[in-house]
Structure 1
């Protein structure tokens, strides 16, 4: 990179190498230290690397008050073009608002040389957009968060095509990688256009962020973000399939709303769900921010009941079956079972309830919670004939 810039008669500073074992960690403190270096160098930072490198430089550039350029070296995640950096701050993973890169130079010849497993991670991150779209459709239908057609379409309109060659992604085929890279970058642009991560992040990411904060690992190596998102996507596809088999015509909204937990009960649930103090403190903030009074829950449930014939049709049309997506993940070389990311069946079952509490974003998990069906859904999915049999998916 330095020689290339020098050939164009562009002055450069010495490179800053970010290293870590087994990988660089997405630490906000690292980015703050890097920001000091950027300020002292008075140069335009260029992030050469994959997801964590990009997020660290993005946040550092924001703190330093300078633009930056992104040169991705792997199709491993969707944050390259996003106006935000997902980093851990005192252990809790959060998205810091910061400017997107002024330019992205994505060379497929370079990206194709990355370890194939990294493209599998990117495929897992991209497949999560299926659930993100469904969650936004639901939030819009229930009057929680209006769907923004432009950013929604930027991700959803071509998603099937971008996901259409999973085996090619594993082989490193240029056409397949081209689609994957385009999809990941477009997801970032959609987040820019909307102003937050809603177009690309839903309940799939709630699972992923939970597991990443708990540092799930296989063989001592932390599991990647995209691998966690892929399993989070499968988790929610199975949950939506279960919900779509239910009859909502007979629900009693007023009775269900009467079970809305008090603020004290919600705080107690959060405290019991998160033994790590840093997670409990931050989850309490998020869960309380999302909580609403019983009359609001009742109105939402009535709206859900009335709109369900049309809404369920939209969801069936937009969501492929979980078993189909599991095959796609397998073909792409991405993890397709919880065992593959170091999550036991028992933990996975519990995490359906815990994931809902760590983000204020309204998703399908909140719908199941307000219906009072989360426990029944988990019991069925992990039962003898459910999608998750023990801790294994039913093919």
Structure 2
């Protein structure tokens, strides 16, 4: 048995057996030919409603539809324009839901695509209380198996809880033929689990959110292996691509088991989601989620690099508490950061949910000073430096500098300073803010060129 097949059998199969929702994940070369059999084994319906865009239908639509029809499954199609790329909005998910109900309400929805298509169909199916079939076309993100759909609602991007697909099929020939930049995006999304792990270590150490004994090892135990050979990925090696897909899939399952995206998402995603909410574009195209996460990861690792050089056993609690902003100042900072009232209101709700009282803040500062030596050691064991991650991303063909996605140091810094308002999830951004170090860290990391 080849190494990538052994990895899928050893990691993915046991995780699927634990899933409440996913019955089957099929990953293989030529797997499209199995689509009819997988559909019939997983669903009782005799009709399929295929949703993709012009690119994904060109890549795999004929093979998928042919396999389904050969198995006696009637096929309806909804082909979205490929240019401009479909956006991950709640409004578009509702449009897909309406098309599906008008064309073939009894049909099983089938997503044919990568991140955006999958999330749109996932939400549409969930709103109807129906299972769906996911056919992946690229190893570009970790959301195929996740129990959530990150969508923009009223200008605010957040992960909406949704059931994962009942069955997932990934044809490695199709995935290997996807644009190489998409594999780079997947590598960038997976790379984000390194700083996300650091964020979770901080939250665990401060008793904000404990590490999950199931989800943590599922993501972190093999993460360095999945990231270890970016050159093979860039060369289109089938085994490396299968390993990347396995890592992304297992990460999605870990999110389901934990009940949130914490195992896969920290400050890196908070930063990335802000750029996505702002419709960040470069060279006339929207910047992908994985590309945003790659640069968000570099920014976060840069902050960690700076933090690990500090001696927080000498933290001046009284000075930090004296500089603590009050609720009115925080609210004003949020309104200044987010001019759109609906977005500011959501950010205010998220921020206030994690804001400690003054007494709790004082206790937390004392705790940080006491545990800093052991906490710093744990973080050093978890993290890669920003420089090392930049090298890996560049080798994999992923964006490795902010200017690669159309950003300069000033905009990167501004995003970092307001990203903590995006989620109630505790990250290094909150840690730095609560120790009154966020401004100094941001200035040190983002004032000089090149930006992370």
TM over 0.5: yes
Rounded to whole Å, the distance in 2 between the matches of 1:49 and 1:377 is: 39
- 2:74 equivalent to 1:12: yes
Give the corresponding residue for 2:306.
242
Rounded to whole Å, the distance in 2 between the matches of 1:209 and 1:93 is: 6
Give the corresponding residue for 1:98.
162
Give the corresponding residue for 2:230.
166
Give the corresponding residue for 2:366.
302
Cα drift, residue 342 of structure 1 = 1.2
Question: What per-residue deviation string (whole Å, max 9, x for no partner) do you get for residues 70-106 of structure 1?
Answer: 1110011010000000111122111111100111111
Give the corresponding residue for 2:87.
25
Rounded to whole Å, the distance in 2 between the matches of 1:352 and 1:51 is: 24
Give the corresponding residue for 1:37.
99
Cα drift, residue 218 of structure 1 = 0.7
SS at the partner of 1:47?
Answer: strand
Give the corresponding residue for 1:2.
65
Question: What per-residue deviation string (whole Å, max 9, x for no partner) do you get for residues 283-323 of structure 1?
Answer: 22211222121111111111111111111001101111111
Question: What per-residue deviation string (whole Å, max 9, x for no partner) do you get for residues 145-168 of structure 1?
Answer: 111121011100000011111111
Following superposition of structure 1 onto structure 2, how do residues 110-189 of structure 1 map, counting pairs within 5 Å?
A: 110-189=174-253
Rounded to whole Å, the distance in 2 between the matches of 1:261 and 1:104 is: 48
Cα drift, residue 20 of structure 1 = 4.6
Rounded to whole Å, the distance in 2 between the matches of 1:349 and 1:45 is: 41
SS at the partner of 1:17?
Answer: strand
8 Å Cα contact 1:122-1:226 kept in structure 2: yes
8 Å Cα contact 2:69-2:75 kept in structure 1: no
Rounded to whole Å, the distance in 1 between the matches of 2:319 and 2:409 is: 32
Cα drift, residue 254 of structure 1 = 4.0
Which residues of structure 2 form unaligned runs of 5+?
Answer: 1-63
- 2:116 equivalent to 1:52: yes
Question: What per-residue deviation string (whole Å, max 9, x for no partner) do you get for residues 21-80 of structure 1?
Answer: 221111111111222333341111111111100000000000111100111100110100
8 Å Cα contact 1:216-1:343 kept in structure 2: no
Q: CA RMSD in A?
A: 1.3
TM-score, normalising length: structure 2? 0.83
Rounded to whole Å, the distance in 1 between the matches of 2:365 and 2:101 is: 52
Rounded to whole Å, the distance in 2 between the matches of 1:165 and 1:276 is: 43
Following superposition of structure 1 onto structure 2, how do residues 1-395 of structure 1 map, counting pairs within 5 Å?
A: 1-9=64-72, 11-40=73-102, 41=104, 42-383=106-447, 389-393=448-452
8 Å Cα contact 1:287-1:358 kept in structure 2: yes
Cα distance, 1:293–1:184 mapped onto 2, change above 3 Å: same
Deviates more, 1:110-119 or 1:247-256: 247-256
Which residues of structure 1 form unaligned runs of 5+?
Answer: 384-388
Query: How many positions carry a matched residue from both structures?
Result: 387
Cα drift, residue 351 of structure 1 = 1.9
8 Å Cα contact 2:68-2:75 kept in structure 1: no
8 Å Cα contact 1:68-1:102 kept in structure 2: yes
8 Å Cα contact 2:226-2:243 kept in structure 1: yes
SS at the partner of 2:145?
Answer: coil
Rounded to whole Å, the distance in 1 between the matches of 2:280 and 2:100 is: 32
Give the corresponding residue for 2:36.
none
SS at the partner of 2:144?
Answer: coil
